[in-house]
Amino acid sequence: RRGCDEFDGIVVNQILCAINFSPQWSMEVVEMANELKNDFPCAVVGVDVAAGEDHFKPNSAMHHGHLKMCQRAKELGLNITIHAGETPGSEEHVYQAIHQYGAKRIGHGYQLVNQPDVLQRIQRDHADVHFEICPTSSVETGAWSESEKWENHPACKLHEAGLQMTVSSDDPAVFDTSLTAQYRIAMKEMGWSRDDVQQSLEQGINAAFLSNDEKVKLRRIIIDGSHSSCDK
């Protein structure tokens, strides 16, 4: 909050995460998110489920608690983003996150490329859903092997399929990286052009959990600034 006050143009909002293996906390998470959704600066603008995907299994002990949290979030008008389709064998989780949990943003989603029918279903019925791709963490978590060429990364295939996406840093401290480093990988290793980066930035702003007025301001700062910095 002090940073928002002291540095003009800095806006920080929060997303509260429920934890895959602790569904007993989920309802507390969503109720806390609701209490703090108008507590600007640093208000809570949405909820997430992270730290694993076991909760997608309908017969798992984790499923009901997290699904109920997301249903409650929709009732309260809270935004929903879900980690899904990150590691091998989780292809169907992306569609579940969107269709069952009500997610408007997906963290990772790489395994979607292994199930073309699900990918086509999302292209057809959920083209507004946004994907957050994180190159470095995809290697560290085993979602993708760096022994392959970066241009074969599943994010490239999702991009070619026309899905909306941004390049993200995941957890910069844990993965010893930065957003700048991730865009550098996208441009120098994955073959993204300046136009690709520009499109990604615009799609990220459109998918941000912000008011329309805030998006206009952010677009002015980021898109205008990118013209002079993308090639560095």
Q: Long-range pairs for 174-183 at CB < 8 Å and ≥24 separation?
A: 174/137, 175/134, 175/136, 175/137, 175/140, 177/136, 177/137, 181/136, 182/134, 182/135, 182/136
What number is the average pLDDT over the span 153-167?
96
Answer whether residue 129 shows pLDDT above 80: yes
Given pLDDT bands bounded at 50, 70 and 90, which one contains residue 107?
Answer: very high
The burial class, CB within 10 Å (0-12 / 13-18 / 19+), for 107 is buried
Residue 225 pLDDT: 67
The reply to whether 86 belongs to the active site is yes
Active-site option among 86, 92, 148, 214? 86
First-to-last alpha carbon distance for the chain, in angstroms, is 31
Average pLDDT over the chain, rounded to whole?
93
Q: What mean pLDDT is predicted for residues 56-82?
A: 97
Inter-residue contact 129 to 155 (CB < 8 Å): no
pTM of the model as a whole? 0.94
Which tokens go with 156?
Answer: 């490239």
